[in-house]
Structure 1
Amino acid sequence: MECGFQKPFRFEQMWMKDSGCTNTIEAVWRKHTEESWDTKIVTKIDHCGKALTRWSKQAFGNVKREIERKRKELSKVERRAISGGDPRPMKTLQEEINLLVDKEATMWQQRSRILWSKDWDKNTRPDHLEEVIDVIPEVVTAEMNASLTFEFTALEVEVALKQMAPLKAPSPDGSLPAALGHSFVTLIPKVKNPKAKEDECLRLLEILVTYERASGQQINRAKTTLFFSKSTSYDVQEVIKEALGVQVVQQYEKYLALPSLVGRKKKESFANLKQRIWKKLQGWEAKLLSHVGREILLKAVAQALPTYTMSCFKLPITLCHEIEALIWKFYWGQHEDARKIHWVKWQELCKPKSQGGMGFKDLFRSNDALLAKHTWRLLHDHHSLFYRVFKARFFPDCSIMEAKESSNASFVWRSILRGRDVIKRGAVWRIGNGNSVHIWNDRWLPGAVNNKIISPAIVANNNAMVSSLIDQTSREWKGELIDSYFFEWEANIIKNIPLCRSFQEDVLNGLLAWTENGRDPELFLSMAWTLWNRRNNIRLGKPSIPLE
Structure 2
Amino acid sequence: MPCYFLSLFKIPASVAAKIERLQRDFLWSGVGEGKRDYLVSWDVVCKPKANGGLGFGKIALRNVALLGKWLWRYPREGFALWHKVILGIYGSHSNGWDANTIVRWSHRCPWKAIAQVFQEFSKFTRFVLGDGERIRFWEDLWWGDQPLGSQYPRLFRVVTDKNSPISSILGSTHPFSWNFNFRRNLSDPEIEEFEGLMRSLDCLHVSFSILDARSWSLSSSGLFTVKSFFLALSHCFGSHPVFSTKCV
TM over 0.5: yes
Aligned pair 1:383/2:82, yes or no? no
Residue of structure 2 in register with 1:422 after alignment: 120
Q: 1:509 aligns with which of 215, 225, 233?
A: 215
Query: What is the distance in 1 between the residues matched to 2:181 and 2:159?
Result: 14
Q: Secondary structure at the match of 1:453?
A: helix
Question: More relative contact order in 1 or in 2 (CA 8 Å, sep 6+)?
Answer: 2
Query: What is the distance in 2 between the residues matched to 1:363 and 1:443?
Result: 30
Q: Secondary structure at the match of 2:127?
A: strand
Shift, 1:309, TM fit = 1.0
Aligned pair 1:403/2:100, yes or no? yes
Shift, 1:479, TM fit = 9.7
TM-score, length-scaled by structure 1: 0.36
Maintained 8 Å contact 1:439/1:453: no
Aligned pair 1:332/2:28, yes or no? yes
Residue of structure 1 in register with 2:243 after alignment: none
Distance 1:465-1:396 versus aligned 2 partners, 3 A rule: closer
Shift, 1:453, TM fit = 2.7
Give the number of the structure whose residues are more often helix, by fraction.
1
Residue of structure 2 in register with 1:461 after alignment: 160
Maintained 8 Å contact 2:86/2:99: no
Query: What is the distance in 2 between the residues matched to 1:325 and 1:477?
Result: 62
- Alpha-carbon RMSD across the aligned residues, in angstroms, is 3.8
Q: Which amino acid aligns with 1:403?
A: N
CA radius of gyration, larger in: 1
Query: What is the distance in 1 between the residues matched to 2:72 and 2:130?
Result: 19
Distance 1:325-1:431 versus aligned 2 partners, 3 A rule: same
Maintained 8 Å contact 1:368/1:422: no
Q: 1:441 aligns with which of 139, 157, 160?
A: 139
Distance 1:334-1:450 versus aligned 2 partners, 3 A rule: farther
Query: What is the distance in 2 between the residues matched to 1:422 and 1:341?
Result: 36
Maintained 8 Å contact 1:372/1:418: no
TM-score, length-scaled by structure 2: 0.72
Maintained 8 Å contact 2:47/2:54: yes
Distance 1:515-1:445 versus aligned 2 partners, 3 A rule: closer
Query: What is the distance in 1 between the residues matched to 2:123 and 2:129?
Result: 17
Residue of structure 1 in register with 2:170 after alignment: 470
Distance 1:497-1:324 versus aligned 2 partners, 3 A rule: farther
Query: What is the distance in 1 between the residues matched to 2:194 and 2:99?
Result: 27
Residue of structure 2 in register with 1:357 after alignment: 53
Maintained 8 Å contact 2:138/2:149: yes
Maintained 8 Å contact 2:160/2:181: no
Count of matched residue positions in the alignment of Structure 1 and Structure 2: 227
Distance 1:535-1:359 versus aligned 2 partners, 3 A rule: closer
Q: Secondary structure at the match of 2:151?
A: coil
Query: What is the distance in 1 between the residues matched to 2:17 and 2:119?
Result: 21
Q: 1:530 aligns with which of 205, 215, 231?
A: 231
Shift, 1:451, TM fit = 8.2
Distance 1:470-1:485 versus aligned 2 partners, 3 A rule: farther
Q: Secondary structure at the match of 2:214?
A: strand
Q: Secondary structure at the match of 2:225?
A: helix
Shift, 1:327, TM fit = 1.7
Aligned pair 1:392/2:93, yes or no? no
Shift, 1:412, TM fit = 0.8
Aligned pair 1:499/2:206, yes or no? yes
Shift, 1:428, TM fit = 0.7
Query: What is the distance in 1 between the residues matched to 2:102 and 2:79?
Result: 23
Residue of structure 2 in register with 1:373 after alignment: 69
